[in-house]
């Protein structure tokens, strides 16, 4: 008898990925992906188009009996009463609502936001984008009947639904909206109304973590659909993170996250107290500027990624005194949406291709270090650091990260962690159909055994140097 299969779908900032696995063992079966526009505002219908291409490239979904969707958090997807997008979705990396975020914090106070939602609003949070929409596009705002997030939209389309009343989400993604309490599991209509000017919107029903939310009618297969989850929660699920395990993700954004049992409330706004995909919490710190800093530096120097790494490794820790403040797109941590980057410490010795290359790597790791410190302040004792993401493949980052952070770095085997994590959730939902109390399936860690533990001599002077340079960032006007 053929073993049942499950599928995990990741709708990320740049593409949609599909991974198919054995429901019982977690063994990899096949996968496919399709790119879509990499922008800060995107028509959500292109995610559905990309999903269909990704499924085809994965060899179809024959044999798949359960599927879940993971996706980029925070994005504002607005739908009218007929379920049609009102405007392009504003994604997490759209910093247009920086002023609105500051105003919301000033109006209600950081303590209240942190206490009620676990998060102090910044430009990435959905509530701030709704305030921006109400102020800048009042005609569009008046047409909005429902608001959801990217993974909610794709789950809804996967089910073949056109009824906005059938939108669903999960607690992890809901916890990043700015109008949901992870502690109570309920939306906070007063905060939604305060941000948007009205609270009569249809919001996705928050499904139970083991619940089937429907069937995959949208792709013509007879498979149950799980509630899905946010991208960071999905990656944590794939890697089996436990207490004290910290995940450093270096992709389009830089992310520091860990699993805890109590929702943190950080009124400084550095740490977002999101929920995870299992009933715990996922304190998270994110930076906007990560892999694109390496991309920009590579393009400036006219080299490929291998040569960028070679140049960086030819310079000493500290880049001969050169510090790169990498606020190419503003920044979320620290909350500086209107900031511009800067380069400091330019001398005859540091004004080299090698120093600039290493300074780019050190810059993104220093940003992660700020996040790691913030999580530690909340009481987390770090047992291990794991490094994942596209940039984690670079030998330069594998040397720079342990050097700058002063801690050995575990490098899991490369994988599509978000898609793998929601595939695991799909297997959980499948098992719950016959046993409502079923545990998370005992799959091996989907990243496989660590392929390497990266070590390097600690270089605390790098972060000290960066800490002096970062406050000297520029603004968009200056």
Q: What is the pLDDT of residues 142-195, one digit of tens each?
A: 999 999 999 999 999 999 999 999 999 999 999 999 999 999 999 999 999 999
Q: Is residue 393 part of a domain?
A: no
Q: Give me the helices (H) in 58-159, please.
A: 98-108, 110-117, 126-136, 138-143, 150-158
What is the C-alpha to C-alpha distance for residues 310 and 325, in angstroms, rounded to an integer? 21
Total number of domains in the chain: 1
Long-range contact list for 109-116, CB < 8 A, 24+ apart?
A: 110/267, 110/268, 110/269, 111/267, 113/178, 113/191, 113/267, 114/265, 114/266, 114/267, 114/269, 114/273, 115/265, 116/181, 116/188, 116/191
Residues of the chain with pLDDT under 50: 478
Residues 179/192, Cβ–Cβ less than 8 Å: yes
Helix (H) / strand (E) element for 30: namely: strand 28-35
> Quick one: how far is CA 3 from the chain centroid?
32
Tell whether 119 is covered by a domain: yes
Two structure tokens written together for 320: 């001969």
* DSSP code string of 177-239: SSSEETTTTEE-HHHHHHHHS----B--EE--TT---EE-GGGT---EE---EEHHHHHHHHH
- What distance in Å separates the CA atoms of residue 189 and residue 198, rounded to the nearest whole number? 9
In a domain, 463, yes or no: no
Report yes or no on 217 lying in a domain. yes
| CA 475 to each of CA 260, 329, 342, 365, 371: distance values in angstroms, whole numbers, following the listed order | 36, 11, 10, 22, 22
Give the whole-angstrom CA distance, residue 365 versus residue 372: 10
Tokens of 476: 């968009």
Residue 304, both tokens: 């490929």
Alpha carbons 34 and 14: distance in angstroms, whole number: 9
Q: What is the pLDDT of residue 96?
A: 94
Cβ-Cβ contacts under 8 Å for 132 (sequence gap 6 or more) = 90, 96, 97, 100
Any domain includes 391: no
Query: Is 292 annotated as contributing to ligand binding?
Result: no
d(CA 345, CA 350): 7
**Residue 12, in any domain of the structure:** yes
8 A C-beta contact, residue 405 and residue 429: no
Radius of gyration of the chain (CA): 22
Each residue of 339-354: pLDDT tens digit?
A: 999 999 999 999 999 9
Q: Is 74 annotated as a binding residue?
A: yes
Question: Number of helices (H) and strands (E), helices first, in the chain?
Answer: 15, 26
Structure tokens of 376?
């530690």
Residue 112's pLDDT is 97
Residues sharing a CB contact under 8 Å with residue 373, sequence separation 6 or more, in sequence order: none
- Indicate whether 389 belongs to any domain: no
Residue 449 contacts residue 23 (beta carbons within 8 Å): no
Cβ(172)–Cβ(74) below 8 Å: no
Classify residue 165 by its DSSP letter.
G
Whether the model pTM is above 0.75: yes
Question: Residue 240: CA atoms inside 13 Å, Cβ hemisphere, count?
Answer: 13
* 241, part of any domain: no
Q: What is the pLDDT of residue 450?
A: 63
pLDDT at residue 478, as a whole number: 45
Tell me the residue range of the domain where 105 lies.
5-232
Residues in CB range of 106: below 8 A, 6 or more apart: none
CATH number at residue 138: 3.30.420.40
Catalytic residues: 231
CA triple 348-350-355, angle to 5 deg: 150
- Among 267, 249, 251, 474, smallest CA distance to 371 is for 249
pLDDT at residue 445, as a whole number:
65
pLDDT digits (tens, 9 = 90+) for 6-23: 999 999 988 999 999 999
DSSP state, 174? H
């Amino acid at each position: 008898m053929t073993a049942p299969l499950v599928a995990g779908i990741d709708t990320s900032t740049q593409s949609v990925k599909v991974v198919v696995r054995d429901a019982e063992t977690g063994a990899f079966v096949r996968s496919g992906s399709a790119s879509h526009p990499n922008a800060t505002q995107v028509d959500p219908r292109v995610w559905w188009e990309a999903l269909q291409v990704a499924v085809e490239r994965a060899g179809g979904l024959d044999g798949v009996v359960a599927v879940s969707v993971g996706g980029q958090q925070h994005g504002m997807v607005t739908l009218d009463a007929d379920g049609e997008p009102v405007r392009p979705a504003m994604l997490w990396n759209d910093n247009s609502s920086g002023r609105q975020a500051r105003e919301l914090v000033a109006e209600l106070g950081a303590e209240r936001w942190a206490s009620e939602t676990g998060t102090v609003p910044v430009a990435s949070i959905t509530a701030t984008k709704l305030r921006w929409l109400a102020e800048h596009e009042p005609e569009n705002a008046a047409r909005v009947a429902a608001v959801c997030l990217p993974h909610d939209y794709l789950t809804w389309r996967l089910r073949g639904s056109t009824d906005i009343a059938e939108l669903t989400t999960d607690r992890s993604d809901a916890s990043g909206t700015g109008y949901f309490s992870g502690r109570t599991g309920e939306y906070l209509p007063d905060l939604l109304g305060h941000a948007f000017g009205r609270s009569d919107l249809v919001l996705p029903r928050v499904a139970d973590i083991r619940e089937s939310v429907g069937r995959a009618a949208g792709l013509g297969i007879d498979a149950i659909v799980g509630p899905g989850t946010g991208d960071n929660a999905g990656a944590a699920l794939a890697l089996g993170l436990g207490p004290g395990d910290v995940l450093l993700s270096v992709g389009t954004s830089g992310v520091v996250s860990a699993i805890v049992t109590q929702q943190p409330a950080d009124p400084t706004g550095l740490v977002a107290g999101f929920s995870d995909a299992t009933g715990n919490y996922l304190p998270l710190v994110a930076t906007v500027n990560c892999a694109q800093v390496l991309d920009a530096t590579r393009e400036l120097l006219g080299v490929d990624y291998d040569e960028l790494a070679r140049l960086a490794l030819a310079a000493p820790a500290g880049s001969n005194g050169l510090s790169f403040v990498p606020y190419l797109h503003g920044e979320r941590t620290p909350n500086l949406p209107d900031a511009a980057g800067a380069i400091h410490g330019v001398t005859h010795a540091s004004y080299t291709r090698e120093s600039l290359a290493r300074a780019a790597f050190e810059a993104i790791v220093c940003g992660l270090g700020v996040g790691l410190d913030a999580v530690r302040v909340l009481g987390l004792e770090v047992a291990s650091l794991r490094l994942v993401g596209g940039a984690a493949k670079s030998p330069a980052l594998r040397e720079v990260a342990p050097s700058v952070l002063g801690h050995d770095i575990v490098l899991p085997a490369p994988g599509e962690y978000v898609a793998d994590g929601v595939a695991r959730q799909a297997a959980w939902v499948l098992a719950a159909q016959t046993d409502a109390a079923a545990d998370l399936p005992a799959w091996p860690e989907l990243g496989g055994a660590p392929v390497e533990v990266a070590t390097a001599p600690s270089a605390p002077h790098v972060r000290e140097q960066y800490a002096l340079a970062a406050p000297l960032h520029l603004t968009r006007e200056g």
